[in-house]
């Protein structure tokens, strides 16, 4: 038995076993215990496949960032940086990169200002690369020479299985053919948001004859894309054409390619696809298990019915904001017996009969992710799905007509929820605390009215002229009466509350204006809550203090907290809250007009792990105090204040050395 806190004496085998039972963030926090725990953390092969290291600095700091990377890291992202291998500094960066590149499997470039030679040099040493993503980075493609043999030899990229070139304006046929030649084993191919030309006249303009055929450096045509997919059809199983101009003709040609057996197809935002294009999918690509048709405006009942009938292996189906489906098409959704992920948010397809449909045929018992955001369903429907889908782990019902009694069905049946999003709902403290079934809303109103009549002594007072004055007074009276009820109510009598959801990791209650401090006092007792949003709720300092007044370790695992537009909170509440949230990484305080410089001082003292801070609209916090955060919080990435956006020394996510023995608060990144 290890006594006295000598955790560094534990054998590595025991530490590895402990890590097996923890989530990634918990393992990261545990690795700060001492140097030996940190060494096991970096050495774990399981964690090496999960950890992602982000480098988003300028040239002068990139060398320091790369030098602090663990030698066996497998995921690296370059974001918003300019990098060149020129001069003495560039040679040092290049030498560090050679030591890292052999182990890298996932490499991402996001909005990077690098030339084609720099990217070529980076890739030439990545002998184990599996996933390559170049997103919104136009500069390397401008000259048209990227991936060419005149730049560097990239035959080592034959190991790449997943290629994503997204939001590029300068990707051309010639570049794409070079990519195809050096990456012959592609399984996933994404051209999301790229400017692909489908019109035959453009093809004739750049390729007038078949003689002296030369791939163009100026245009990206669908025929060349099709040829590349044909060449790699034996290995390709996943294609992403989201946010492109692909139409039915292009989709038909794609599906007719011999030996192409797709399992994943992303057509999000492709508004030119109609019935013939989907017919090609149903006849030639029946093995699809992941289909995304979000924002496709040409979806009709017949298309939707065929999707449910003929794509029998479908496990992930997204049709968000699809307005062409009626109740006749919706009836077929119960035919998807293998579906695990269902996103139908904002589709405006619900009707009074949807409850009868689900009752008679029922949804898939395997469903774990359900997004119903913005749908106008009734109480009977929510009661029915909460009884049928007790294995649900993700539920989004934001902007839905859900009241207190309907919310009680969730807290009583869906006990395995990890993520619950209920923003913009008319639920109150009575639903969250579990007294909605015990004490009716009108009963609380009656008690508050009686209390008001006994207190109101001056009936001839002059009103302030505020139209919202009576509403404010009524809410205060309701809160006072409900608090007294909760303090005297026995736990055996109370109904299901938010505390029933023991596995909850993410909770979004933003813009639920009827939620007040009482919910934080009586309904927030979570062991593993990571993300909490109570923006624009009726929260004051009393609620924030009660959130961390619970015994350890309740509510101490919060990493992202959104308190935007909670005008009732002041420095006092945050001074009590922030010292208890050791893992806090993201804090939003936009529009909290009661905060002053004292809050910034509290953040500097007690939030060493903070990455992002938003204090826009906090009129009493001067810009100068935000600048002082740069030196105090070396891990802080973004500070937003007013209309300005300060980028504060965004470092690499891990240091070269781990925490010292006994040092419980060593600062390092995610």
* Residue length of the chain: 670
Structural domain harbouring 614: 539-657
Choose the weakest-confidence range: 10-14, 97-101, 654-658.
654-658
pLDDT at 103: 86
In the predicted model, is pLDDT for residue 664 greater than 50?
Answer: no
Closest Cα partner for 550 from 585, 587, 499? 499
Asked if the structure places residue 599 within a domain, the reply is: yes
Query: What tens digit of pLDDT does each residue of 257-269 get?
Result: 999 999 999 999 9
Q: Is the pLDDT of residue 612 over 80?
A: yes
Which candidate, 275, 280, 276, places its Cα nearest to that of 265? 280
Question: Who wins on pLDDT, 553 or 508?
Answer: 508
Domain membership flag for residue 561:
yes
- Is there a domain that residue 39 lies in? no
Task: Examine residue 630 and state whether it is found in any structural domain, yes or no.
Answer: yes
Mean per-residue pLDDT, 414-433: 94
Q: Which of 282, 289, 276 is nearest to 339 (CA)?
A: 289
Q: Which has the closest alpha carbon to 500: 386, 381, 572, 417?
A: 417
Model pLDDT, residue 562: 97
Check pLDDT > 50 for residue 669: no
Kindly state whether residue 143 falls inside one of the protein's structural domains.
no
Lowest mean pLDDT among 48-52, 302-306, 487-491, 543-547: 48-52
pLDDT tens digits, residue range 102-114?
889 999 999 988 8
Apex 587 CA angle, 585 and 588, nearest 5: 155
DSSP string of 97-146? HHHHHTT--EEEEES-B--HHHHHHHHHT-TT--EEEEES--GGGTTS-T
Query: What pLDDT is recorded for position 303?
Result: 94
Higher pLDDT, 545 or 5: 545
Q: What is the CATH number of the domain that holds 574?
A: 3.80.10.10
- Cα 517 from chain centroid (whole Å): 27
Q: Is residue 145 part of a domain?
A: no
Q: Do 256 and 282 contact (CB within 8 A), yes or no? A: no
Q: What percent of the chain has pLDDT over 90?
A: 52
Q: Per residue in 131-151, pLDDT tens?
A: 999 999 999 999 999 998 877
648 falls in which pLDDT band (50, 70, 90)?
low
Return phi, psi of residue 91, to 5°.
-65, -35
Alpha-carbon span 630 to 307, nearest angstrom: 53
DSSP code of residue 239: E
Number of domains the chain is built from: 1
> What is the pLDDT confidence band of residue 498, given thresholds at 50, 70 and 90?
very high
Tell me the mean pLDDT in the region 427-447.
70
């Amino acid at each position: 038995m290890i006594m006295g806190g000598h955790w560094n004496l534990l054998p590595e085998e025991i530490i590895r076993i402990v890590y097996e039972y923890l989530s990634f963030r918990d393992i990261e926090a545990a690795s700060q215990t001492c140097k030996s725990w940190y060494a096991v953390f970096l050495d774990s092969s399981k964690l090496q496949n999960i950890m992602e290291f982000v480098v988003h600095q300028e040239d002068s700091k990139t060398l320091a960032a790369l030098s602090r990377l663990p030698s066996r890291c497998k995921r690296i992202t370059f974001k918003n940086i300019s990098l060149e291998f020129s001069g003495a500094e560039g040679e040092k960066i290049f030498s560090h990169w050679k030591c890292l590149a052999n182990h890298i499997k996932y490499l991402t470039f996001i909005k990077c200002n690098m030339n084609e030679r720099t990217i070529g040099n980076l890739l030439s040493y990545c002998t184990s690369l599996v996933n390559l993503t170049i997103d919104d980075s136009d500069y390397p493609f401008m000259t048209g020479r990227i991936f060419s043999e005149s730049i560097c030899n990239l035959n080592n990229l034959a190991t790449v299985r997943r290629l994503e070139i997204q939001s590029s304006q300068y990707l051309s046929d010639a570049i794409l053919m070079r990519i195809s030649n050096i990456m012959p084993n592609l399984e996933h191919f994404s051209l999301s948001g790229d400017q692909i030309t489908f019109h035959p006249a453009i093809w004739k303009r750049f390729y007038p004859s078949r003689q002296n055929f030369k791939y163009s450096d100026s245009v990206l045509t669908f025929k060349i894309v099709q040829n590349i997919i044909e060449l790699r059809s034996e290995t390709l199983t996943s294609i992403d054409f989201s946010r492109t101009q692909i139409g039915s003709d292009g989709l038909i040609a794609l599906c007719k390619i011999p030996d192409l057996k797709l399992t994943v197809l992303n057509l999000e935002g492709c508004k030119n696809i109609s019935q013939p294009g989907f017919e090609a999918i149903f006849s030639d690509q029946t093995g699809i298990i992941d289909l995304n048709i979000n924002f496709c405006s040409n979806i009709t009942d017949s298309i939707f019915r065929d999707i449910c009938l003929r794509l029998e292996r479908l496990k992930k189906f997204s049709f968000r904001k699809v307005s062409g489906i009626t109740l006749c098409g919706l009836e077929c959704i119960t035919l998807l017996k293998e579906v695990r992920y269902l996103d139908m948010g904002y589709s405006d397809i619900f009707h009074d009969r949807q409850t009868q449909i689900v009752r008679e045929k029922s949804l898939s018992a395997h469903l774990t992710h359900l997004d119903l955001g913005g749908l106008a369903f009734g109480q009977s429907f929510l009661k029915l799905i909460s009884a049928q889908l007790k294995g649900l782990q993700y539920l989004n019902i934001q902007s839905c007509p859900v009241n207190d009694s309907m919310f009680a069905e969730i807290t009583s049946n869906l006990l395995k929820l990890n993520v619950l999003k209920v923003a913009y709902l008319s639920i109150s403290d009575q639903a969250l605390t579990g007294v909605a079934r015990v004490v009716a809303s009108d009963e609380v109103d009656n008690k508050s009215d009686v209390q008001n009549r006994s207190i109101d002594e001056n009936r001839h007072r002059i009103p302030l002229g505020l139209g919202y004055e009576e509403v404010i007074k009524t809410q205060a009276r309701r809160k006072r009466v409900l608090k007294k009820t909760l303090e005297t109510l026995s736990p055996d009598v109370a109904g299901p509350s938010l505390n029933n959801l023991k596995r909850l990791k993410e909770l979004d209650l933003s813009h639920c204006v009827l939620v007040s401090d009482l919910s934080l006092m009586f309904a927030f007792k979570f062991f593993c809550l990571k993300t909490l949003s109570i923006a624009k709720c009726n929260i004051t300092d009393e609620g924030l203090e009660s959130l961390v007044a619970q015994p350890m370790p309740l509510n101490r695992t919060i990493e992202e907290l959104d308190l935007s537009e909670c005008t009732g909170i002041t420095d006092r509440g945050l001074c009590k809250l922030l010292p208890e949230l050791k893992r806090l990484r993201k804090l939003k305080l936009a529009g909290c007009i009661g905060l002053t410089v004292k809050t910034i001082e509290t953040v500097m003292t007690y939030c060493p792990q903070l990455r992002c801070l938003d204090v826009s609209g906090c009129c009493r916090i001067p810009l100068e105090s935000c600048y002082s955060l740069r030196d105090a919080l070396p891990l802080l990435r973004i500070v937003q204040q007013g209309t300005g956006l300060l980028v504060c020394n965004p470092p690499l996510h891990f240091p070269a050395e781990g925490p010292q023995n006994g040092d419980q608060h060593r600062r390092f990144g995610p």
